[in-house]
Amino acid sequence: MSTHPRHTAHEVEAGRLVGEVEALLGAGARLALVAAHDDGPSGFRVVYLFADPAQGRTELVLRVPREAPAIPSLASLSFPAGRFERGLQDTFGITPTGHPRPRRLVLHDHWPVDWYPMRRDATTEPRFGPDRGTFSFVPVLGEGVYEIPVGPVHAGMIEPGHFRFSVVGETIIRMKARLWFVHRGMEKLFEGRTAAEGLALAEVISGDTAVGHGLAFAMAVEDAAGLVVDEQDRLVRALLLELERLHNHVSDLGAIANDVGFGIAAAHTQRLRERLLRQHAALTGHRLLRGGVRIGGAALAGDVDVALVRGVASELAEVVDITLGNSVVMDRFVGTAVLGREAAAEMGVLGYVARASGLDVDARRDHPFVDLGDRFAVVTRQDGDVHARFAVRAEEAQVSAALVADLADRLDGRRGTGRSAADLTGAASRSGASLVEAWRGTACHRVELDASGRTTRVAVVDPSFFTWPALPVSLQDTIVPDFPLANKSFNQSYAGNDL
């Protein structure tokens, strides 16, 4: 058994797995990640990572034989666990015994049934079968019910996703989302890279979350290597994280308004976002803030323009007031695409979507890496509709602007140490994990390092993995014309989900 502050890990036998998981969930822990590892002839390992604000992280490690690999399903205890298990079945060929619906998740039907891309012996070029066009969904039968297929190719510049609607009139009875059309093999690409190379890859997992995923990867590596990060660098990291949150919320607020025809809000928010992006380029050399986070440190190329950030926040508040003061906008926002608190909790929803449904969850408070002080507050709403998700974003943007000003003041002209750990040979530990409140919600990374400090395995969970399944739930009894609005109010990442 290994321990360090707020982190425990131990092996568990298959027969005791369900009982231990049930105890952890009952005590308030959240299943944050399930990752399989191919250990060669000795078989597989499956790591279950649980997060608890009070107890920190707990890892359960289950060893699985190579011949006929199987694990006890946890789907009856945890909705996210059932989805993680389906992913392991697709990518490692590990069967979740007792799973109620063990259909494919990550790989569509034209992928070969005996090819598992995350295994060591996987061929680089699988032999695809015919695209049979099958889609596992439950049809809704009855008089007047018809189906509307949307995507995966869309009219706008968005990534591929297929949405199948069962509709009566204009009312959505059921919607099924099908994702995983893009397979970049991100977790496979991490294998054998230096930490610096892995950090550059983490920054492009989901382009609008460069800081969130870059920081999650860096902190997981530092956890594995036993690196201590200077407080100055941790303040810089928090600053970058809030700047990323701010520019994304600014953009989303305008885009949501635009989906109900209130284009003036979108025009102004895009203008404000552009001002922020230009500042980002001066701060890190990249408009999306890539390059600011280092392994073991952080660095800024310039000083934050606090007056600019305050000005953007002030103008944004005015745009929000004008938007919510429009009766047509409010008619479309209020009561649309409601996600109730109970459903959000059961599905493990994260980020602003969870907080808009009354769930008080935020890794900045629950799993902090720096003290954010009195300016920080978790923003929640109770109604779970488009209006609530809009309002949470609007207030979170103001909190982020206040945090940026406070963090800049605490840094007092310092720009980070610029430290970057180039050599991780002989690291203190061989595995590490992190939880970072990226702008969409909590991102989780887990890494394993070899003796030379290269990554042998990196498991990534974008918050979108948890939140995407809640979109169809919110759409019940919503009209078809409000789907783009509902989807934008969730705004989950395709790239972060599909990997």
pLDDT tens digits along 82-102: 999 999 999 999 999 999 999
Say whether pLDDT at 40 is over 80: yes
- pLDDT given for residue 128 in this prediction: 83
- pLDDT given for residue 423 in this prediction: 74
Query: Hey, what CATH topology would domain 192-477 get?
Result: Cytochrome-c3 Hydrogenase; chain B (1.10.645)
56: exposed, middle or buried (C-beta count within 10 Å: 0-12, 13-18, 19+)? middle
CA distances from 49 to 35, 303, 444 (A): 8, 38, 9
pTM over 0.85: yes
Say whether pLDDT at 364 is over 90: yes
* Ranges of CATH 1.10.645.10 domains, the chain: 192-477
- pLDDT given for residue 133 in this prediction: 59
Q: Is the Cβ–Cβ distance between 81 and 31 less than 8 Å?
A: yes
- pLDDT given for residue 429 in this prediction: 66
Residue percentage of the chain with pLDDT more than 70? 97
| Nearest-angstrom CA–CA distance, 35 and 61 | 10
The CATH homologous superfamily for domain 2-97 is NADH:ubiquinone oxidoreductase Nqo5 subunit (3.30.460.80)
Q: 3-state DSSP call for residue 449?
A: strand
* Ranges of CATH 3.30.460.80 domains, the chain: 2-97
